[in-house]
Structure 1
Amino acid sequence: MTSDSFLRSRPFPSHRNSMNMFRLVFAAMVLFAHSWFTAGQGTGPGFRGENLGGWAVAGFFVLSGFLITGSRISHNAGEFLVHRVARIFPAFLVCLAITAFVFAPVALYAQHHSLSGYFSTPSTPLNYIWSNAGLHMDNYGIGQSLDTVPYKDAWDGSLWTLYYEFLCYLIIWVLGGLLVFRRSIVPMIVLWALSVLNYAGLGLAQRLGLNQDYLLLSRLLPYFLGGSIAYFVIRRWGISPVIGIVSALAAAACICFIPGFGGQASAPFLAYALIWLSTLIPQPAFIARNDISYGFYIYAWPMQQLVAVFGGASHGMWLYWAITAVLTTAFATASWFLVERPVLRLVKRSRVVVPASPVVEQSAIAGQSHGGAVGPAPAAPAEQ
């Protein structure tokens, strides 16, 4: 890199970045962090009061804010919403069904050598699918299929974050229809600042009796809006190595020196730094063409529980992590090729072409590779 290129800003390279790989790394971090929970070994590594999985979620949400805001600016309301639903729901519903009718009965038989009562013991497999089909995870267990593992009765402790990511999509969907948010970065900065102040004063919300949904959305929304700010900055001024380095330092300073809400305060800086790094660090060609990060995220926890059922968690954390990572990669790849990519291609063929955005349309947790996130927060129910 020459001194001239170091100082000069340039447009964000929408098809020459490593967003897919970054999301996959964050998903792997979540799996790694959850290994301690599902193996019954405590909460695992953390920093500044946040589990490693929670920091991975922060990365997902800031990238999602950047990418989803670009998608909303470049698409009308109907196209945007159809694409978001198509990206999140099909793979999610298939994951629920496979968990209910493949993973859970296998686990039940392995533990009890019988499938007796599987379809009638609460919570039933059909109820598991029905009660969670709207993204809000109201039921984690299926009968007695996980009653001998360290982390009992929770088949997918990661899925709950998708509900809050989709709420963030809806917020951007509404804001994207207002000219004031399209024309100026100032309203987004104000909204982000208010979201940080809201999270900083969350103790008042708890005393007022606001529910868990409000508390968790308050925790995650500042990250998403920080990514939205980064989108408007990069759209207007391009991506700059100098600003990327300064942003990384500013994000680190916020996280290290602001107690309680340093992560949320760091969000715009964290977003810009990650986006800048994604233009520098190359990714494998397979990952560039195929975004398996969403599938990796939604199948990681079930694989961890299934391996635990067969005693895999008793042979050391590193072996446990490696086995579950390999199995998760297999299911994630199948999800991409058999569910996610076909649905995205169908949606792409059916929609009206609109002017292109400087940002490729995708999500952080549920991204889309070249025409194709975030989910996560503290990544398990115990971390909420």
Structure 2
Amino acid sequence: MNLIRLILALAVLVHHSWPLTGAANEPIFAGETLGGWAVSGFFVISGYLITGSRFSHGLGDYLVHRLARIMPAFIICLATMVVFFAPVGYIVAKGSLSGYFGTATSPLNFFISNLTLKMNHYDIAGTPLNVPYSGAWNGSLWSLYYEFLCYLVVAALGCFAIFRKSPWFLTLLFGASVLAQANIDVINRYTNGNFDVVLLLKLLPFFLGGAVLFVWKSRIGIHWAPAVGGLVVTLLMVSAFPAWGGQASGVLIAYVTLWISTWLPQPKLIAKNDVSYGVYIYAFAFQQLLAVFGGDEWGLVLFSSAAAALTIPTAIASWLWVERPVMRRVRRKDHSPTPPPADKLLARPDRDSLTSADTVRTPS
């Protein structure tokens, strides 16, 4: 799954190359961009893996694992925006750092106000400036807040035995989330169009789609014929019902993705090292930095390639020096009683089990 998520992270990078260079005519399918579909894929995979983590760990250990996986690298990323990316952009735009620390969105304000994962500010001291997409250093970070909300949903569900013992209750919840997305206009009337509600209801069905596959997989298995059929049905659904067809196909998308993971060759280096999170959280910033120096005029291919060349080494450093060491330390300190794995609660032992959810994580 590491390779699939790395591909999705690079797809988000490519998607951002259109707005960050001012290019027009970005490909769109069923009303969604390449990046939008990649984020949906992240949530599907995350739903599958994170549900496995919750159903095989106590609540305390589960929450500690999730915080350890997402927060340290995120905090380092925010700090890097403040001490490297923004100062470089500020100097290029204004000639010096004079006034950098006392602006409306000061570096300290940016860092503190975004620590809860909810991105309240995207600019730092008004930068980046003089680029096609000004005022945002890292537009990718918005999805992490909603992913963590999905973590909390699964954390709550794991507290009730019915969700562990029968797959039907989680399946019904998935159906309810799709129904909510299909009727988002009605919901908006009662929430005053709250954007957090809009985004959560858009992404939650994908996450729950992966969760539903987890609780059913031991009973249905993973085979090529239903995977191909699921792909065809998904394409028909999103084409016929662009507003909610993707969400309704969440389980099918999860099934197809899992089937692909069973035959897609994955280099051992990538299997042991998950750099997709680092690619996701740093790519946008490097693209903006290139644009500050005129890279937006290089064309989409060269711009995307240069951004990837800068992002991947940084993602590797984040994995080796921040993400992996923190997770190893956390695992050594696990102490709460471990509930039986969900697959054993639900059905026979599963021959298709994947790597533990705690060894990998999906960014959005």
| TM-score for the superposition, normalised by structure 2 | 0.93
The residue that corresponds to 2:285 in the other structure is 302
Work out which of the residue numbers 166, 179, 192 in structure 2 matches 1:197: 179
Deviations 1:198-235 (A, max 9, x none): 11111112233141100100000000000011111113
| Structure 2 runs not aligned, ≥5 long | 343-352
String of CA shifts for 1:229-258, please: whole Å, max 9, x gaps. 111111333322232222222222212222
Q: Retained in 2: the 8 A contact 1:244–1:276?
A: yes
State the one-letter code of the partner of 1:270. Answer: I
| Residues 100-121 of structure 1, C-alpha deviations (whole Å, 9 max, x = no match) | 1111101111222211011111
Taking the TM superposition and a 5 Å limit, the aligned residue runs for 1:4-43 are 19-42=1-24
Q: Counterpart of 2:309?
A: 326
Matched, 1:375 2:363: yes
Shift of 1:328: 0.7
Which position in structure 2 is the counterpart of 1:163?
145
Q: Deviation per CA, 1:63-101: give whole Å up to 9, x if none.
A: 111101111111111110000000000000000000111
Q: Give, in whole Å, the separation in 2 of the partners of 1:144 and 1:211.
A: 26
2:199 to 216, 222, 225: 216
2:71 corresponds to: 89
Please say if residues 303 and 324 of structure 1, whose CA atoms lie closer than 8 Å, have aligned partners that are also in contact: yes
Residue 146 (structure 1) aligns with = 128
Is it true that 1:361 corresponds to 2:347 in the alignment?
no
SS in 2 for 1:114: coil
Match of 2:86 among 104, 113, 118: 104
Amino acid paired to 1:179: A
Residue 359 of structure 1 deviates from its aligned partner by 4.3
- Cα displacement (A) at 1:269: 0.4
The answer to which structure has the higher helix fraction is 2
Indicate how the Cα distance of structure 1 residues 51 and 372 shifts in structure 2: closer, same or farther if over 3 A, else same.
Answer: closer
Counterpart secondary structure, 2:139: coil
Residue in structure 2 matched with residue 47 of structure 1 by the alignment: 29
Tell me if the contact between 1:195 and 1:222 (Cα under 8 Å) persists in the aligned partners: yes
The answer to whether the aligner puts 1:285 opposite 2:273 as a matched pair is no
Judged with a 3 Å threshold, the aligned counterparts in structure 2 of structure 1 residues 142 and 91 are, in CA distance, closer, same or farther, namely: same
Question: What is the CA–CA distance in structure 2 between the aligned matches of 1:298 and 1:289, rounded to whole Å?
Answer: 20
**Cα deviation code 1:248-281 (max 9, x no counterpart):** 2222221222232111011100101100110110
Of 251, 263, 270, the residue aligned with 2:234 is: 251
What CA distance in whole angstroms lies between the structure 2 residues aligned with 1:108 and 1:315? 22
Q: Residue 63 in 1 paired to residue 45 in 2?
A: yes
Runs of 4+ in 1 over 6 A off after TM superposition: none
1:207 and 2:189 correspond? yes
Gaps of 5+ in 1: 1-18, 363-367, 377-384
Distance in structure 1 (CA, Å) of the matches to 2:227 and 2:200 = 27
RMSD, matched Cα: 1.5
Matched pairs, number: 351
Output the amino acid matched with 1:339: V
Equivalents in 2 of 1:73, 1:235: separation in Å? 14
CA shift digits 1:124-177 (9 cap, x unpaired): 011111000000000001013312111111011010100000000000000011
Structure 1 residue matching 2:128: 3-state secondary structure = coil
| Distance of 2:354 and 2:59 partners within structure 1 | 17
Question: For the Cα contact (< 8 Å) 2:127–2:135, is it kept in 1?
Answer: yes
Deviation of the 1:42 alpha carbon: 3.8
1:43 CA drift (Å) = 6.6
Q: Which amino acid aligns with 1:141?
A: D
CA separation of 1:291 and 1:221: change in aligned 2, threshold 3 A: same
Higher mean C-alpha deviation, range 91-100 or range 204-213? 204-213
Separation in 2, partners of 1:171, 1:360? 22
Contact 1:61 1:373 in 2 (8 A): no
SS of 2:235 mapped into structure 1: helix
Instruction: Name the CA distance, whole Å, in 1 between partners of 2:167 and 2:247.
Output: 18
